[in-house]
Amino acid sequence: MGVVQTEKKKRRRGGKKEHIKRQRRQKCDSPDDDTETDDTEDVEMPAFETRSAEGKGLGLFASRDIMAGERLIQEIPVFILPKTDTMNAAIVESFMHLQPEQRAAYLDLSSYTTCTAKTQFRVDETSMAEQVDRRSRASDVQSLISGSDIHNCRFPNSLGGSDDHSFKKPYKLELSELEATKSKPPVHESRIDSPVCDVEDLTKALQATTIDVDVEHGVDAPDDNTVDCEMTDSLAAQVVNIWRTNSYMLDDGITLDSAGVGLTASRLNHSCIPNVYSAYNSRTGYMTVQAVKPIAAGDELCTAYINGAGKSRSERRAELSMWGFTCTCIACADGRDESGRRDIKTLMNKVEGVKTQIQQGSADLSVAQIEQTVGDLLDLATLMSDEGLLGPDLADVCFGAARCCMLIDRREEAGALQASGFDILLRGYGIDNPICGAALEAGDLDEA
């Protein structure tokens, strides 16, 4: 599964006061959100409810009209793990250290996998001790653990001191280590009752999961009441499968490279034309979900599990089969004209080379080439908007076009494009997200 990494970008300051004011007025009125807000007088009713979504299990539905840019979910993941080093035993270990009510809520999440026992679980012979040690050695994970107790699922409040505010938007859900069993037709299993993992391997890993090991390696032992969980083979399999079905990338493009499960965000179903965007705020530790377009009362809130902007229906289907369903959104309807997505792909490929040259500060580009790129990027933005793709990827396109405009002294146009890009970015992330802060503070276009 690909992790979508967009280009490094600096963002500029200036002319954004309205956006900021609007964002500051935002309320977090998710039913699951218990944070305090000052402006509660505007809260009418919860923005959404959880209910049955035909053919999809549960889903989240707007219980009132929702404005573009509204924050709908803000939650701390129940636990987080390094994305590149997520061992099955670590998933089970983290689960065992949850509070009982968190465990119950976690086990209520849906679970799907198309993988056979051996390919799915690659629990190696590494003991938990070694795994814990490896986790704490990884530099990105170090910032995650420092000042927090990973077993109790707390997040750090710091950014880790990196100056690299690259805008690296990941895809939304992660099924790392999985390989789809292509010979098997996708079957939707909303709950896993039987183990589908290699139970022997997993049991071995579980035996190594002891508090002694944790203490020996300097990781805080959890409270006694967090380990009173009797772990069976089938429970372990369920825990791992739930992680693989529901974990979101927590890479916010700045310091972290992790994944986590949010109990509310996990109820979001997929659409190839998503109306919400799931992000991670490394400063606050919250996973956030914001509306990227107006949503009418009764509509389902859907995020995109994959970045399908430049992908054909069959390509998207192949990727989504990892979650065991065939998408039935408008973009996937039979007979739907696919030329829009095809054109998006063509333009994305076309601008890629120029984008890299510009990022590297290449002076070799002619004015004509840059003008052509501006045109291509504007066409790309139009195509994406026409397809209903209004998430932060679109902001990237606007910022790219703005940058090109500055290079050929079309300053007014650059300003307008950047304002549009910033607006889109805010809609997806919210002003409190460091990505928006970086966009405001970089001021690169002002200096160009």
Ligand X SMILES: C[S@@+](CC[C@H](N)C(=O)[O-])C[C@H]1O[C@@H](n2cnc3c(N)ncnc32)[C@H](O)[C@@H]1O
Per this entry, what is the length of the chain? 448
3-state secondary structure of 49: strand
| CA-based nearest residue to 260, from 115, 109, 393 | 109
327 contacts ligand X (rule: CB under 6 A): yes
Residue 171 or 323: the one with the smaller Cβ distance to ligand X is 323
DSSP type of residue 73: E
From 47, 80, 81, 109, residue interacting with ligand X (rule: CB under 6 A): 109
Scanning residues 53 to 72, which ones bind ligand X (CB under 6 A)? 55-59
Residue nearest to ligand X (CB): 57
x-marked contacts with ligand X along 378-407 as a string, rule CB under 6 A: ------------------------------
Residue 92 or 331: the one with the smaller Cβ distance to ligand X is 331
Stretch that binds ligand X, among 25-33, 263-271, 281-289, 384-392 (CB under 6 A): 263-271
- Least CB distance from residue 317 to ligand X, whole Å? 11
Q: What is the dihedral of CA 42, 45, 48, 52, to 10 degrees?
A: 180
Residue 107 or 442: the one with the smaller Cβ distance to ligand X is 107
CA-to-CA dists, residue 28 to 23, 33, 183, 280, 286, angstroms:
11, 7, 44, 15, 12
Strands 300-303 and 269-270: parallel
Stretch that binds ligand X, among 68-76, 191-199, 264-272, 279-287 (CB under 6 A): 264-272
Give the whole-angstrom CA distance, residue 425 versus residue 291.
Answer: 11
Give the whole-angstrom CA distance, residue 153 versus residue 222.
Answer: 11
110 contacts ligand X (rule: CB under 6 A): yes
Give the whole-angstrom CA distance, residue 82 versus residue 419.
Answer: 34
Phi, psi angle pair for 312, to nearest 5°: -75, 165
270 contacts ligand X (rule: CB under 6 A): yes
Side-chain-side CA neighbours of residue 313 (13 Å): 15
Stretch that binds ligand X, among 52-60, 140-148, 289-297, 408-416 (CB under 6 A): 52-60
Stretch that binds ligand X, among 106-114, 153-161, 163-171, 423-431 (CB under 6 A): 106-114
Residue 146 or 326: the one with the smaller Cβ distance to ligand X is 326
- Least CB distance from residue 89 to ligand X, whole Å? 23
Residue 148 or 321: the one with the smaller Cβ distance to ligand X is 321
- Least CB distance from residue 300 to ligand X, whole Å? 9
248-249: strand order across its sheet? 80-82, 258-260, 248-249
- Least CB distance from residue 86 to ligand X, whole Å? 17
Q: Where are the beta strands (DSSP E) in 251-352?
A: 258-260, 269-270, 276-281, 286-291, 300-303
Residue 135 or 311: the one with the smaller Cβ distance to ligand X is 311
Q: What is the dihedral of CA 384, 390, 392, 393, to 10 degrees?
A: -10
Residue 302 or 438: the one with the smaller Cβ distance to ligand X is 302
- Least CB distance from residue 246 to ligand X, whole Å? 5
Give the whole-angstrom CA distance, residue 394 versus residue 392.
Answer: 5
Alpha helix ranges (H) inside 127-280: 128-137, 139-145, 199-207, 211-216, 233-246
Give the whole-angstrom CA distance, residue 250 versus residue 172.
Answer: 9
- Least CB distance from residue 330 to ligand X, whole Å? 11
From 310, 324, 421, 430, residue interacting with ligand X (rule: CB under 6 A): 324
Residue 62 or 424: the one with the smaller Cβ distance to ligand X is 62
Judged by phi (left if over 0) then psi (alpha if -120 to 50, else beta), residue 443 lies in left
Joined together, the tokens standing for residue 431 give 């002003």
How many residues make contact with ligand X (CB under 6 A)?
20
Joined together, the tokens standing for residue 385 give 């908007």
Residue 285 or 308: the one with the smaller Cβ distance to ligand X is 308
From 23, 88, 114, 245, residue interacting with ligand X (rule: CB under 6 A): 245
Joined together, the tokens standing for residue 177 give 């280590």
Residue 255 or 264: the one with the smaller Cβ distance to ligand X is 264
From 10, 13, 154, 188, residue interacting with ligand X (rule: CB under 6 A): 188
Stretch that binds ligand X, among 289-297, 322-330, 380-388, 417-425 (CB under 6 A): 322-330
DSSP type of residue 301: E
- Least CB distance from residue 270 to ligand X, whole Å? 4
Which amino acid is located at 128 in the chain? Answer: M
Give the whole-angstrom CA distance, residue 140 versus residue 84.
Answer: 11
From 169, 267, 355, 403, residue interacting with ligand X (rule: CB under 6 A): 267
Give the whole-angstrom CA distance, residue 55 versus residue 156.
Answer: 38
From 94, 269, 373, 433, residue interacting with ligand X (rule: CB under 6 A): 269
Residue 165 or 267: the one with the smaller Cβ distance to ligand X is 267
Residue 227 or 287: the one with the smaller Cβ distance to ligand X is 287
Which residues contact ligand X (rule: CB under 6 A)?
55-59, 109-110, 112, 188, 190, 245-246, 266-267, 269-270, 323-325, 327
